[in-house]
Every structure is written in structure tokens, then in C-alpha cells.
Chain A
Amino acid sequence: MELPVTIKDAAVGLRSHAFTSTELTGALLEKAHALNPTLGAVITFIEDGALSAAAQADADFASGTDHGPLQGIPLAVKDIIATADAPTTANGLVLDPAWGAGYDATVIEKLRAAGAVIAAKLVLNEFAIGQPDPDKPFPMPQNPWDLPRSASGSSSGTGIAVSAGLVLGGLGTDTGGSTRGPSSFNGITGLKQTFGRVSKWGCVPLGYSLDHINPMARTAYDCALMLQVMAGYDPKDPTTVDVPVPDYAAALTGDVKGLKIGVPTSYFLDGPDLDPETKASVLAAIDVLKGAGAQVTEITIPHLAEAKDANQIIMFSEAAAYHRPDLGSMFDTYGKFTSQSLARGILWSGADYVQAQRFRSYFKKVIQGVFEQHDLLITPTSPSPAPLRADMSPEKNLTARSFTGIWNLTGLPALALPTGLSSGSLPLSMQIVGKPFDEATVLRAGDAYQRLTAHHMNIPPIAASMAV
């Protein structure tokens, strides 16, 4: 059986009887079992639940019941989001096993109601922060493009699983870049939607005012299909906003004529850490959109380095408040890189946190001014492709620039998508940022780019060579 690589293609295949959901789910589970010892993406396989859901999807198709494009589609979930039929570990030994037991997060309820098949709980950086710790009893995530390299984080398992085709889509979370970083390093598409667009209820928090649960898939179109189901006001999550959910797929017309795109050059396209091939691929991607009729302008945004600092102070302060009791009594039960990261929040004062939130109010106005003149912004997602894991450390992370956290600070939608492969065959990525609750325009630009290019269809050789 030739496995589809996108949700869109799988949806067509299910409805044309090329395969059943049971066959598709079984085949992907078989592939995931075969590759997981090498790739380290899956913590828990939800075999029985997945096959039961797949059988239900098949029965529904047979009876003429069609819940939409996600019916019968195998997806997987970052193991920080509650699922009723599998434990939630946050990739560590600290989280109370009773947390998340026996119920689904709101997004999981919605995906199941849409007929999706939840097939696995995926590896992450513990509690969505830090780096993988080889001393803890969890799989070590390996980049499928080059195993010694980082799969980024914290949604590393989702990035790996989608890239290697173990599932057709998955959920990540993003507080400072944790969906977009793995999308970048693993060569897939990931959307951090507007803060408040999707319910966070049922997700272990990292930064209360920065967290998002996000769709990750191979294409912008697939992300649109997932967001369609996930989006919407949830009375259980006070951060959600009661804004109508548009038809995201219908917005994907392929047309970018007249779209005004700003390219902030200072901070994003300069600096000694910016890989030349990353820069070249993003500029080439912008040229593709320009050739399709978009209007491109170079712009300058002030205080971007301070925006990164503000995001970090808010994130770690909010995380430290949540983790303080456990950091005191179980410091060494955390992974060593996790505790090092979380405890940073203890070292700032309450006034520092408020100052970061004051900067946030100011910076929001700066960005609003930028978007009065532009529809979208484009930047690289990461300064470079995936580094070797051996070269990474929390100390280096502390001073490294971030191209992603700035959009958590401002709560804006930001889509990471592949722009090609480096000379070393590592994925490169750009980030498209839009106005609040204008995911439709962000996804339209991403989809238009993917209609004109094929980088999103690159499959890592380790997965491409595997026949099922």
C-alpha cells in the first residue's frame, strides 16, 4: 500500500476507497513501531484506541456519515496534552500521574468528534522546556534528516513523527517557538495560531500568557484542516476569545497578488549566527511570493532583542510559579536541563515580570503600527538548520537569539514552513507572521508558496526508504 503523506491526500484516498482508515492506521502504526527505536518520537502507542477509532471512521464512511476531512486520519499528540485513553507524562517523572487521567483536553475532544484517530503520545522536552536528558527513562529524539542532530523542541516528537511519516499530523505546543523550531529542523509545516484562538484546557502550562496548542503537518493546507477543528471559544479556558472561526481551507485560493509583505532585515537577516544558506533560502522564498504578485518591502522593527528578553522573563517566571513546589522537593527528579531552565524564573523579581509585561504592551503597539502598513511579515524561523546535539547546552540557549518568541510575546499567528535543504541536506525554513486572528491570510500565503514549490514534500531518507 502506498501511504499518503498529507492529510488532504489521505482524505481523498479514504473517500475513493483506495484504502480504509483501519488499513491506513495499521500501516502507519507498523511504520512507527519499526522506526521509533531509531527516531525516538513516541512515548506511548495508543494501538487499541487508534484501531477502534479507525474502525468507527470506516463504519461511519460506510453508513454515509462524514464528519469532515479529519475523519479516519491518524494523528499524534505531544505528551503534555491530556488524553483519556493514554497517560500524560510531560516526558518526565515529576508530573502527578493523576493529572490528565481519564479525560481529554478540549482540542482532543474536538479532534475525536471530527473522526480523527489519536494514535500516540509523543516525545517532548520535559515540561516543554530544556533539552532531552539521556539519564531519564524516555526515548531520545533524533532528527530523521541526520540522527546526531537536534530535532529542536520542545515539540520534538511531533516534528519527527510528521517528518518521517509516522502520522499525518500532530499537536505541538508553542510558548517561545516549540512548534516552529521542530517544524524548521524537521522540514515540516507548523502553525502557532493567534493566542486565544485555540483552547489550552487540558494542557500542562509552561507560560500561561504565552502557551498555544498547535497543528503540525506536512503542509499549510493540512494545518488549515486541523485548525478548523481545533479553533474556537472554550468557556473552560478563559484565555480563549469568542471570535468567529472562518473557513480556513476555503481561504486557500493560491492568490497572493497585492499582499503587502514586510521583511524586517535588522535582527532577523543580520548577525554572525545567521547561516548564509538559511538567509539565501528565505530570500529566495520571498522572491517566489514576489513573483506571484506580492509586494515586498524591507522594514525595521525596534527593540527586537528586548522583545526576546521579555518573552523569556515572562515564560520562565510563569513556569517557575507553577513548578516552585516541585523544584523545592524534587529538583533532581526533573531532567537536569529542565530544572536548570525552570529555576531561572526564580532569579527574577515580581517587578521584573511586571516590567516585561509593560514592555509587552508597548511592543504590541509597535507591531500594530507595522501591520497598519503590511499584511504579513516574513523572517527565517531559525538562525540556522539543526545543530549537532553535542554542541547544544542551556547556557548557549540563554544568550542565543530567537526568531520565534517575539510572536508569542505579541500573540500573533506565525507559520513555519520548509524553504529547501541545505548543502548538508538539512531542512531550511521561513516564518510567515500575520495580524491577530488572520490565520486565513497567513495560511493562504503559505499554501500559495507550497503550490509553487515542492520543499514541503521532502521526506527524510530514513523514512522514504522504508516500504510498508
Chain B
Amino acid sequence: MNIGSDLAGGFIGTLVLTTMLRGASELGWTRMDLAFMLGTAVTDHRRKAKAVGYVMHFVLGLGFAFVYALCFAAIGRSSWWLGAIFGVLHALFVSTVLVNVMLPVVHPRMATPDTAADEITLIEPPGFLMLNYGRNTFLITLTAHAAYGAIVGAVVKI
């Protein structure tokens, strides 16, 4: 593993991923905002939440690049297309397990389908494949993560 290339791949990949998601949101294709979802776990101030969320998202992006690199090392090869496949799996994990099962456990302001009248939450649950945030959401997530994976796969040196 080459830590420098891992960091570089993670940084560029996250930059592209974040920009794609933000762009899709600005174009009205999805209501998903990963930075906002992550940041509101820390603060209920909407603007601060987004800033904090971007930092958290970048840290996670760098972390996932190391996980990708470990997988590449285990397989003994890396390439942009292998990274893209990892990205697709990553997107499936994010939009099914991470934001629906794991994030609500640690997120004090995110609802789940089990939230009842005794709880008041601020963030609606994303739903399966995050479809609550718009019908295009999963496709956008998939594309952005495939792009992230392809960049990491192209940059990382094993």
C-alpha cells in the first residue's frame, strides 16, 4: 500500500463525489444531502451542520479510500473499473444499511420507520435506497460512488 496515493485518491474521489451530489441537489434531482445528514448528527444549526457534514464526509471519503486500497491489495490488482465496481457496492451499502440502519442509531435527529408519537425528529428517514429523498436519488448515489471508486482505483498504487 502507498499511503500517499491512498490519500490522493480518496481526496480527489471525495471531491468529485461531493460535487456530483451537490450538483444533483442544486438541479432539483434529489433532496439527499449527505453532508447535511451527517452534520445534523452534531448540530441542529442548519448552516453549521452542512459545514461540519462536509468535513465528516471528507474524512469518511479518505477512510473508505484506505478500505478500497486494502481490498485492492488483497486481490493483488487495482484499476479504475475494479474501483467502479467497489463504488457500486459501496453505494448499495450506503443507501440500504448505512443511512437506514446504522446512521439513525447514532443520529439524534433522524427518524426511523419506528419513530412514534413520543419522539420528535427533524430529519425524515431516507427509506429503502434513499427513495424518500426523490426517485432519482439512488441512481445519483450509484453514479457518484462509481465515479469515486473509479478515481480511487485509478490513483491508488498497491
Q: Do A and B bind each other?
A: no
Task: Please list the residues of chain A having a beta carbon within 8 angstroms of any beta carbon in chain B.
Answer: none
Task: Please list the residues of chain B having a beta carbon within 8 angstroms of any beta carbon in chain A.
Answer: none
